[in-house]
A and B are shown apart, each in its own frame.
Chain A
Amino acid sequence: MTYNINLFIFVSRIILELNTTAKTMDKTNLTPEESLLLITKTIEETKQRFQENGHIIILWGSLTFIVFLSQYVLVFLGLYKIFDIMWTCILFPLGGIYTFIYVRRKVEKKNIPMTIIGRTIGTMGWVFGFNLMILGFIFGHQLDKAAAPIFLILLALFIIMTGISLKFKPLTIGGILLNLIGFGTFLISTDYYGLSMMLGALVGLIIPGILLNKANRKENV
């Protein structure tokens, strides 16, 4: 009896599916205009579904800003030695873990497909992150005073490339300004390196990230 009911449900579903198939999305007498419109609409919809919302850029900008603001606070409190432990062992690794989980969940939840731009930006981001960690952990003492400007210049390259890939001008402009701040940092006293990093995070990451987020929301309304 149960077998018969299941068989009936199965057959009914197939009939229903075939009927739906016959009725929907089976149009073959499209006019050339309709075809072109369909192509444009589909490509546009596909692009919108995996558009970058600037969330990760804002996160890393804020993280960098907080890290260097805390440097001043800790110096003021006479706790400067805690600073290195705080950013290398707590804040940046936490940011890395959050980024990994966020990207993975976003891809799985929305079934986001892989694109050349997405793969390029993603790979650049991870390569940049790992290089930065190696530079900080292993070669930090060799870089000495040059560490902060080199960090800003490398970050600027990543932001400029991302801006160009996404065809988003504020991000490209932010990257160029960040590049200039990076070179400018070589010219100032090390006492102001923290301020330079905070300014770089604001100009190159936080502001373009917020603008990207706004642009993304506007397009999805």
Chain B
Amino acid sequence: MFKDLDPILHSQLRLSIVSILMSVDEANFNFIKDTTNATSGNISIQIKKLEQAGYIQVKKSFKNNYPNTTVSITSKGIEAFEEYVNDLKKYINPPK
């Protein structure tokens, strides 16, 4: 009856990252780190997983001689997030 929740998004940190990216055009690595309070290693792993799923796009560049990683959500990511939220709503308020 209930659809399985998207396993890529159904993880605390990955869901946080995608939620951040839903409210901005793009965010850099440090902003994500400050907002989620997670470790750099953990964020890197989750970003890689989201990128492999095609949900986010990662851009690596240099800013003032320091590496600067910028992340943005893809249209596939937006669709997956919207579907995930709709599925959550169905779990909380099951259709009669």
Contact = CB atoms under 8 A, between A and B. Distances in A.
Partners in one complex: yes
B20 A42 contact: yes
B53 interface: no
Residue from B24, B85, B92 whose CB has the most chain A CB atoms within 10 Å? B24
Contacts of A35: 5, 10, 15, 84, 88
B11 A119 contact: no
B65 interface: no
A30 interface: yes
A114 B25 CA distance: 5
A46 B22 CA distance: 10
Contacts of B19: 38-39, 42-43, 46
A20 B42 contact: yes
Contacts, number: 99
Interface string B9-53: 011110110011011111110110011101111100100000000
Interface stretch (A21-29, A158-166, A195-203): A21-29
Interface in A98-119: 110-116, 119
Contacts of A36: 85, 88, 92
Contact of A39 (B15, B41, B42): B15
B21 to A, nearest CB: 9
A47 B19 CA distance: 11
B35 to A, nearest CB: 6
Interface of B: 5, 7, 10-13, 15-16, 19-20, 22-28, 30-31, 34-36, 38-42, 45, 84-85, 88, 91-92
29 contacts: A17-B40, A17-B42, A18-B41, A20-B42, A21-B41, A25-B16, A30-B10, A30-B15, A35-B5, A35-B10, A36-B85, A38-B12, A38-B19, A39-B15, A39-B19, A39-B85, A42-B15, A42-B16, A43-B19, A45-B35, A49-B35, A111-B30, A113-B20, A113-B25, A113-B27, A113-B28, A115-B23, A116-B25, A119-B25
